Amino acid sequence: MAAAADSGGGTPDWDYAPSSRPAAGPESLALANSSRPVSGKNQKAGPPGVKDSAGVWQVNRTNVTLSNTVTDADGDKADLTFQVYTTNADGTPKAQVQLTDPDTGQPAPYGVLVSNFVTSGGTASVTLRYGDLKTNTNYVFRTSAFDGTLYETDWSSWAKFHTRGRAVSITLPEPNKDAPTVNQDDYQQPQEIAQPAMATVDPTQPPTGRSAEDGWNCGKLNKKTEIQPCSRLVPDASKSTRDALIKGANADLPHLVDWCANLLDSHIKRYEACIGSFTYEYEGIVFKDGQPTGEILNASWAVGQEVKLAGISATFTQQLILVPVAIDAKFGSVTLNVEFDCLLADRCSNGPQSWDGALEWSGADPFSHTAIGKIDHTWNAVNNADRLDLSTKITAYSPVANPAATRWQADGAQIRCDKISSATPGCTFYKYIPTWVMNFDKTPPAVAHAWLIQAKLPTHPGSKTANKPLFYLPAASKNAPGRDPDANRKVICPDGWAATYGNPDATTVPEISSTDKASCDEFAYASTYNSGGMPASMGGMNEVDTGNDCVQTYATRVSQGNWHLYDDVREPAPTWTEVCGRSAMSGWINSTSMGGAFSSGFSTKYRMLDKDPYWVDFPQFAHCDASKVTVACTVPKP
């Protein structure tokens, strides 16, 4: 006789008869054949279906598939009822896990799952619903068979399995919809460039007692005084030169670019350049009877050059500071003539010079004053984009020595003017690589996702430390391959993916946006050549077939004020050899993290064009360590 079924309202002792809780259906003894079905001894938990040395199945996710074989001596088809328990420390069964019906999403009757019928000797299986099991936890399961009329009289033996742990657990604060806009200028640090290159100035004479390799450019010998003039520009980061360019001859100097003060060598930002520090030297080599006597007259100036571009104008300004360091009294006086050139006259015109301070210094009073000159240049804005070079020439002469000239040009400070990023013309130092900083206070999960992918993956997209910049992909009409960035997005984040396939625990913020719904966030961004969706044939650097090839994460609110970015434990743990990231999260958070903030506050602001490199920085994550097996961090730092 079959045991009476109970109501399922409690958990009986673990050795109760399977037929007393007939999850697969009631027994029909009147129709039964003589043989009961039997569970096999081939229990398996997976994927991947690998058992460790202790006999425990190691499962790479939490929505586990359980299986076992089943036989019936009468040849009837049979199913299996699967029951799961937590374990005590010694591995023995502890408490039954209430499983969920995968079709209805409701608690399964008696807390167990029943497989489909399979032929005798076949393998029956069930897949547990996501959320029923915890991560990094030991479980046991067993089965009982049912052939439609008769139950197996006992349960199978227990089989042990272990769910994988989390690979990502980043704790985050609540999004602040009223957080102020990030001022991107605050994060643009000066970028060092090579010191200016010297160019010969015709006509020149072979120097006597001086080496052209050392940068000397010499003029004709004055036959009356027997003095040959030579000049050169020398990079000079000494304290005396630096101090001279701060204080000048007698007062604090006005700077066209404020951060040039106290800065050594040559640097640029997107719209500003400080070219220096260096000294301009003018010497008079004294001859007698055609031979140098060894006496040399010396004059020198500390030189500081600054350029300020306008992001919304074709006209820009440069300033030159000349601070006398030494003027030999035997020169009597030295006069400088300065020529500011915007090379390629068909692209750029030069305005008049204006000088504060005379360009003549007397040997009797060599430190009397500083000279500060300014000039405006204007791009003719005929083409959509042009590159411009600025070149400066100083010619020195004195009553006793002929002129000697030196010209220089800073290649690292080459200028690009365009009418592509904006209809309004403007110019940038395009070799400067700007830094984009996302608004962490407003959209913490999106920032955490980007940081994780940059810090952990070998591609390190946007990392300045790893020298792996992102390369900007503008609208299709403005990029070389004509690729719509949205096409990249659809490779990684197809329309509707988050709602259909994204982790169901991704949290939306209807209190911020009443229409908020789950969304798919990718990094590297779709508007980059680094995107996994960008075809290699179009210059893509990390092409993948589908977003399934990316690291999978999701953002969830665990409790009010307590958010987490987790890896999706419905999938195998990341290998960290992937080249992209995909995350399910609030659509408001996703769109707000970039959207207008990037286009107006960064790409347009800094006049980014096709393939321009840029960095992405995450200052709030500086204390986080991505080298661990589990990337766990609390941001901001507690």
| 427 or 252, higher pLDDT | 427
The phi, psi pair for 241, rounded to 5°, reads: -70, -40
Compute the average pLDDT of residues 457-479. 98
For residues 176 and 239, membership in a common domain is answered with no
266 occurs within a structural domain:
yes
For residues 157 and 221, membership in a common domain is answered with no
Per-residue confidence band for 203, with pLDDT thresholds at 50, 70 and 90: low
pLDDT digits (tens, 9 = 90+) for 207-218: 666 666 678 888
Per-residue confidence band for 38, with pLDDT thresholds at 50, 70 and 90: very high
The DSSP annotation for 147-166 comes to -SS-B-SS----EEEEEPPP
Averaged confidence pLDDT in the chain: 92
Does pLDDT of 98 surpass 60? Answer: yes
Compute the average pLDDT of residues 326-338. 95
According to the model, what pLDDT value does residue 240 have? 78
Structure pTM?
0.92
For residues 285 and 405, membership in a common domain is answered with yes
Closest CA to 293 of 362, 373, 226: 226
| Whole-number Cα distances in Å, 304 to 15, 200, 261, 272 | 89, 21, 10, 13
Structure tokens at 458: 């070998």
Domain boundary at 385, 405, 428, which? Answer: 428
For residues 30 and 134, membership in a common domain is answered with yes
464 occurs within a structural domain:
yes
Task: Provide the number of structural domains found in the chain.
Answer: 3
540 occurs within a structural domain:
yes
3 occurs within a structural domain:
no
1 occurs within a structural domain:
no
Does pLDDT of 273 surpass 50? Answer: yes
Compute the average pLDDT of residues 223-246. 85
Compute the average pLDDT of residues 122-140. 97
For residues 118 and 75, membership in a common domain is answered with yes
| Whole-number Cα distances in Å, 491 to 372, 452, 484, 532, 549 | 56, 21, 12, 8, 11
Q: 3-state class of 272 per DSSP?
A: strand
Does pLDDT of 224 surpass 50? Answer: yes
The single-letter DSSP state of residue 549 is G
pLDDT digits (tens, 9 = 90+) for 393-405: 999 999 999 999 9
3-state SS of 341-352 is EECCCCCEEECC
Rounded CA separation 222/397 (Å):
11
For residues 383 and 398, membership in a common domain is answered with yes
* 400 and 580 Cβ atoms separated by less than 8 Å: no
For residues 265 and 400, membership in a common domain is answered with yes
| 27 or 557, higher pLDDT | 557
Task: Annotate 391-408 with b (16+ C-beta within 10 A) or e (fewer).
Answer: bbbbbbbbebbbbbbbbb
For residues 449 and 422, membership in a common domain is answered with no
231 occurs within a structural domain:
yes
596 occurs within a structural domain:
yes
Rounded CA separation 415/269 (Å):
11
Compute the average pLDDT of residues 612-633. 96
For residues 221 and 176, membership in a common domain is answered with no
Compute the average pLDDT of residues 606-617. 98
Q: At residue 127, what is the residue type?
A: T
Domain boundary at 408, 428, 448, which? Answer: 428
For residues 136 and 178, membership in a common domain is answered with no
For residues 442 and 419, membership in a common domain is answered with no
For the chain, how far is it from start to end, CA to CA, in angstroms?
64
Per-residue confidence band for 10, with pLDDT thresholds at 50, 70 and 90: low
**Structural domain of 232:** 190-428
Does pLDDT of 252 surpass 90? Answer: no
According to the model, what pLDDT value does residue 245 have? 78
According to the model, what pLDDT value does residue 636 have? 96
Per-residue confidence band for 1, with pLDDT thresholds at 50, 70 and 90: very low
CATH number of the domain bearing residue 157: 2.60.40.380
For residues 278 and 292, membership in a common domain is answered with yes
Rounded CA separation 557/561 (Å):
8
pLDDT digits (tens, 9 = 90+) for 174-190: 999 999 999 999 999 99
According to the model, what pLDDT value does residue 2 have? 39
Domain boundary at 428, 443, 473, which? Answer: 428
65 occurs within a structural domain:
yes
